[in-house]
Amino acid sequence: MQIQDLPYPDPGVPDARSGPRFLRWLFRNQLPGQIKSLAWGLLHFASVASIPFCVGIGVQAAVDRSGGRLALAGGLMALACVGNAVGDTFLHRAAVTNWITAAARVQQLLARRTATLGSALTRRVAAGEVVAVSTGDVEKIGWFVEALSRFTAAVVTIVLVCVGLLVYQPALGVVVVVGLPLLALAVLPLLPHATRRADVQREKAGRATELASDTVAGLRVLRGIGGEELFLDRYRRASQEVRHAAVRSARMWSLIAAIQVLLPGILLITVVCYGVHLARQGRIAVGELVTVYSSVMLLAYPLRHFEEIAMAYSFSRPSAKRAARVLSLERAVDAAGAPGPKGPARPERPSGDLYDPATGLLAPAGRLTAVVCGDPDAAGHLAERLGGHAAHAPNTARNGSVLLGGVPLDELPLDTARGSVLVQDKDPVLLSGTLRALLDVPASGAVGTREALDAAQCGDVLAALVQGSLDAADPMDAQLTERGRSLSGGQRQRLSLARSLVTDPEVLVLDEPTSAVDSHTEARIAESLRELRAGRTTVVFTSSPLLLDRADQVVFLHDETVVAVGGHRELVRTEPRYRAVVTRETEAEAETGDRTGADDLSDLDKLVEIEETA
């Protein structure tokens, strides 16, 4: 796999049982690139290691006044330098390719898992952890995968050099062979301490990232209540904890680096002293002493890769653990053992009534159904369940999947299920970019962009975008800030509604789509929604009388069970619990008589009359 071939057609199915297992799986899938990097690494390190032998031959040739051997030494030196340059260049190229392709594979896996879980992801994993995994953790995992082949090449080179020194000069070779393993293993007792400190730093950094993400997401609310300084102080404290943990971790790694410099120096001094002693006795030649000395000095270069691989593993292990945790998450129905797709995948999307056996909710095909639920959280969970997101539906395994036209959504391929039922939650996300890009979504083509914007009553939103833009005359080219934070809550809701209407799915589920919109705009949206979605199945979770009065049917749920179905005006008169939810009364007040319901209907009639006149 080359960089230009990214993304992967299929990144594979990861082994997400643990962090080390995930790293091993990733290494196996990068095996061709690892072998290529290992080959170039062997050429590079072998060329570096052969230079001392060339120098030794040259020095001895000069001592013996042998021009032929001196020329041979020069030729071998030139060949070693060419091998060093070529090997280093292509090693770097192969290593960077391994790093980028490994990181890209992890990012693709995370993106697929995010798409599978949908909005349930951030409810099961903290938002800061998701950000940390998809950014910094991906880089650290790629670093370990990239460093592994270079470390292997360094180990092979060191073994070959030790064997060569034993054959070339046994007396000094024994000293090197005994000393090098001690150098490589001397830092092992310190690695657990360094790893623990690195883990603490990662944990504190993740908490700080999560705090920063939550603060930015709620900045408008914090400004409204004057809480910016409180959260800023919390982030300062978290940031200082990260700094102290980073300093503690850096001290340990500095100690390891110092040992890796000190011990090779001690070995070098030992080899020189013992070599001079042997040379005085005439047991070795001067060229042999120079060769062994140069070899020990240059072996410090591949030995540094022991420190690098230790650092890479200690940093990547917690990162791989976090990535494996996210990748191991499943849709609740899958985790509970619900059946997957049986037989060949259905090529066509199902159509028909939408039915939830857990609550008894039935949304007839082609009609606008309003759902009233006294518990907002239960309403949000039911909306997710209707779209096949069952992370918060404990009754899923007991009562079965939601049915669309008699077909269980959980037995459909995920893309088919998502294309059939679109759920817009009560806090939809607006991505940064132009308004044109925001509305450029997979769609049936039956609803145009302008038509959807008009139905969502976005005229003032378009004017505000043009006014706030420096160079966009067309509102479709105006830039939206991250999550649409420059817009009000009602404006964000209407743009999100327009995006959902453009998609024009078979079934559209809206969770409180007008909760932040004024009543006059809400009434116009209700009428436009009814007209634009005519012949399409639409389910709206709301307690607004303006939306309820325009629905084909209203379904009232109590304790997550359907208890009444009918028109809004009928339910206000006949169902006290429904009237209590819609009119914000207590059930005791609602049961005192029908006067409240009559007053509510009278006020509703007046509001509808005003809107129709306007």
Report the number of secondary-structure helices (H) and strands (E) in the chain.
Answer: 25, 12
Residue 422, SS3 per DSSP: strand
What stretch(es) of the chain map to CATH 1.20.1560.10? 3-330
User: Residue 455 has what pLDDT?
Assistant: 93
Structure tokens at 476: 């479709």
Burial (Cβ within 10 Å: 0-12, 13-18, ≥19) of residue 589: middle
Structure tokens at 349: 């999307």
DSSP 101: H
User: Residue 1 has what pLDDT?
Assistant: 59
User: Which H or E run contains 510?
Assistant: strand 507-511
Residue 607 CB neighbours (<10 A): 17
Cα–Cα distances in Å, from 379 out to 127, 298, 376, 392? 23, 69, 5, 11
Beta bridge partners of 373: 557
Please answer whether residues 577 and 590 qualify as being in contact, where contact means their C-beta atoms are separated by less than 8 angstroms.
yes
**Sign of the C-alpha dihedral, residues 450, 456, 461, 463?**
positive
Instruction: Please state whether the peptide bond connecting residue 170 to the residue before it is cis, i.e. omega within 30 degrees of 0.
Output: no
Range with the poorest average pLDDT among 334-348, 409-423, 553-567: 334-348
- Residue 585 pLDDT level (bands cut at 50, 70, 90): low
What percentage of residues in the chain have a pLDDT greater than 70?
84
CATH class, 354-566 region: alpha beta
Contact partners, residue 286, CB within 8 Å, separation at least 6: 59, 60, 63, 279
Mean pLDDT to the nearest integer, 487-512: 90
- Residue 188 pLDDT level (bands cut at 50, 70, 90): confident
More confident residue, 552 or 488: 552
Q: Answer yes or no: is pLDDT of 218 > 70.
A: no
What is the C-alpha separation between 499 and 594, in angstroms, rounded? Answer: 41
Residue 283, SS3 per DSSP: coil
3-330: CATH homologous superfamily? Answer: ABC transporter type 1, transmembrane domain (1.20.1560.10)
Beta bridge partners of 294: none
Q: Answer yes or no: is pLDDT of 135 > 60.
A: yes
Q: Answer yes or no: is pLDDT of 562 > 80.
A: yes
Residue type, 547: L
Please answer whether residues 260 and 273 qualify as being in contact, where contact means their C-beta atoms are separated by less than 8 angstroms.
no
Rounded to the nearest 10°, the torsion over CA 288, 290, 292, 298 is -150
User: Residue 35 has what pLDDT?
Assistant: 92
What is the C-alpha separation between 544 and 541, in angstroms, rounded? Answer: 9
Please answer whether residues 128 and 238 qualify as being in contact, where contact means their C-beta atoms are separated by less than 8 angstroms.
no
Mean pLDDT to the nearest integer, 429-433: 81
Burial (Cβ within 10 Å: 0-12, 13-18, ≥19) of residue 279: middle
Structure tokens at 306: 């022991």
Question: Which pTM value belongs to this model?
Answer: 0.59
Mean pLDDT to the nearest integer, 61-73: 85
Phi, psi for 513 (deg, rounded to 5): -75, -10
Dump the DSSP string for 134-166: IIIIHHHHHHHHHHHHHHHHHHHHHHHHHHHHH
User: Residue 509 has what pLDDT?
Assistant: 94
Q: Answer yes or no: is pLDDT of 533 > 80.
A: yes
What percentage of residues in the chain have a pLDDT greater than 90?
19
Mean pLDDT to the nearest integer, 86-98: 91
Q: Answer yes or no: is pLDDT of 555 > 90.
A: yes
What is the C-alpha separation between 284 and 263, in angstroms, rounded? Answer: 25
Mean pLDDT to the nearest integer, 7-25: 88
Please answer whether residues 392 and 400 qualify as being in contact, where contact means their C-beta atoms are separated by less than 8 angstroms.
no
What is the C-alpha separation between 198 and 74, in angstroms, rounded? Answer: 47
226-241 pLDDT tens trace: 556 777 777 788 888 8
259-307 pLDDT tens trace: 878 888 888 888 888 888 888 888 888 778 888 878 887 777 887 787 7
Mean pLDDT to the nearest integer, 414-431: 82
Q: Answer yes or no: is pLDDT of 604 > 60.
A: no
What stretch(es) of the chain map to CATH 3.40.50.300? 354-566
Q: Answer yes or no: is pLDDT of 150 > 60.
A: yes
What is the C-alpha separation between 513 and 522, in angstroms, rounded? Answer: 9
153-175 pLDDT tens trace: 988 988 888 888 888 888 888 88
**Sheet with strand 354-356: strands edge to edge:** 361-363, 354-356, 403-404, 407-408
Residue whose entry in the numeric block shows the structure tokens 């169902």? 575
Residue type, 51: I
Residue 207, SS3 per DSSP: helix
What is the C-alpha separation between 233 and 212, in angstroms, rounded? Answer: 11
Range with the poorest average pLDDT among 213-217, 221-225, 347-351, 466-470: 221-225
User: Residue 342 has what pLDDT?
Assistant: 40
More confident residue, 546 or 206: 546
DSSP 474: S
Q: Could you report how far apart the first and last alpha carbons of the chain are, in Å?
A: 63
Looking at every residue in the chain, the average pLDDT score rounds to: 81
More confident residue, 407 or 415: 407
Buried b (16+ CB within 10 A) or exposed e, 195-214: bebbbbbbebbbbbbbbbbb
Range with the poorest average pLDDT among 155-169, 463-477, 484-498: 463-477
User: Residue 532 has what pLDDT?
Assistant: 92
- Residue 336 CA from chain centroid, whole number: 24
